[in-house]
């Protein structure tokens, strides 16, 4: 498939520099970057299982905040003790 896209001057410069650094044609580098981007899961896809778990847990925002603060404190305390 062939497409035409518009880039900002900054993006075009960075893409050109990357292609030159890699010794590849600019269109190949652009194609590789697009392929990688569409294969990579979105933030929403990555967070979906955690969001589902939170929803199923019944915890409200405050309880969830307290939970993560407690976990963070435990980790920090462990680092201080082992450090």
What pLDDT does residue 31 have? Answer: 96
- 4-61 pLDDT, tens digit per residue, is 999 999 999 999 999 999 999 999 999 999 999 999 999 999 999 999 998 999 989 8
What pLDDT does residue 25 have? Answer: 96
Give the containing element (helix H, strand E) for 35: helix 26-39
Whether residue 59 contacts residue 67, with contact meaning beta carbons closer than 8 Å, is answered with: yes
Cα–Cα distance, 50 to 83 (Å, whole number): 31
What pLDDT does residue 83 have? Answer: 65
For the entire predicted model, the pTM comes to 0.57
Cα–Cα distance, 44 to 47 (Å, whole number): 5
What pLDDT does residue 1 have? Answer: 87
Locate the domains of the chain by residue range: 9-39, 43-82
- Output the CA torsion sign for 69, 70, 75, 77: positive
């Amino acid at each position: 498939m062939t497409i035409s896209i518009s880039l900002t001057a900054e993006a075009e410069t960075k893409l050109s520099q990357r292609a030159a650094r890699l010794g590849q044609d600019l269109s190949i580098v652009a194609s590789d970057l697009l392929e990688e981007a569409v294969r990579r899961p979105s933030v929403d896809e990555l967070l979906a299982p955690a969001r589902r778990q939170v929803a199923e847990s019944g915890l409200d925002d405050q309880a969830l905040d307290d939970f993560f603060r407690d976990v963070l404190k435990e980790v920090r305390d462990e680092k201080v003790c082992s450090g």
